[in-house]
């Protein structure tokens, strides 16, 4: 009888572990159904530096739309910083575009986390309207040829080895330039 009890506990535990593991967020970077030309924009950061998407032609650009009031956005910021430390200067650019907030609000938040990647501000929400964002955070990957090739809705661990490998592989365009 004791053995049956322990076997049942093991079965329940293993089943629970399997369900928990199945529920873990996969670190994926889904391709868009049909790549499209990335809409151009020019935005300033809190230091009045202007970032134009066209300035990064020839590089992979990770465009992350986020806000300080968004819990998933806040959670993924440290992993974006870790990714930036590994990819900066290697053909990958990160533009973490804050949506609809003041420079003071952004500065307070970024100061707490000591973020060093570019954070342009879309204070009027004009740029995010050009990209089909389903919510925040939403991230787009722009190929070196200027095409949006991937979109991720929701937070990610951006320094995950699988995601990093996928991003780094995009640096060299294929023969078609896409």
Residues 58-80: tens digit of each pLDDT = 999 999 999 999 999 999 999 99
Helices (H), 46-128: 71-87, 103-113
What pairing do the DSSP bridges indicate for beta strands 92-99 and 60-66? parallel
Q: 0.85 cut: is pTM over it?
A: no
Domain boundaries, the chain: 28-169
Query: For the segment 92-121, what is each residue's pLDDT rounded down to a tens digit?
Result: 999 999 999 999 999 999 999 999 999 999
Integer Cα distance of 71 and 74 in angstroms: 5
Integer Cα distance of 87 and 96 in angstroms: 15
The CATH label, of 3.30.429.10, 3.40.50.2000, 3.40.50.720, 3.40.30.10, for the domain at 28-169 is: 3.40.30.10
Cβ-proximal residues to 123 (8 Å cutoff; 6+ apart), any chain: 100, 101, 102, 103
Integer Cα distance of 17 and 2 in angstroms: 23
- Cβ-contact 98, 67 below 8 angstroms: yes
């Amino acid at each position: 009888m004791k053995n049956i009890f322990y076997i049942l506990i093991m079965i329940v535990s293993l089943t629970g572990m399997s369900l928990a593991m199945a529920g873990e967020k996969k670190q994926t970077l889904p391709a868009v159904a049909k790549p499209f030309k990335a809409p151009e924009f020019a935005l300033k950061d809190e230091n009045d530096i202007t970032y134009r998407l066209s300035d990064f032609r020839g590089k992979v650009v990770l465009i992350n739309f986020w806000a300080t009031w968004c819990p998933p956005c806040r959670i993924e910021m440290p992993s974006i910083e870790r990714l930036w430390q590994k990819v900066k200067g290697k053909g990958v650019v990160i533009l973490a575009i804050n949506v609809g907030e003041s420079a003071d609000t952004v500065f307070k938040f970024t100061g707490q986390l000591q973020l060093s990647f570019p954070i342009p501000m879309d204070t009027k929400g004009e740029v995010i309207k050009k990209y089909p964002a389903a919510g925040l955070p939403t991230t787009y990957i722009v190929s070196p040829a200027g095409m949006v090739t991937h979109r991720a809705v929701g937070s990610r661990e951006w320094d995950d080895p699988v995601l990093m490998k996928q991003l780094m592989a995009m640096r060299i365009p294929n023969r078609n330039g896409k």
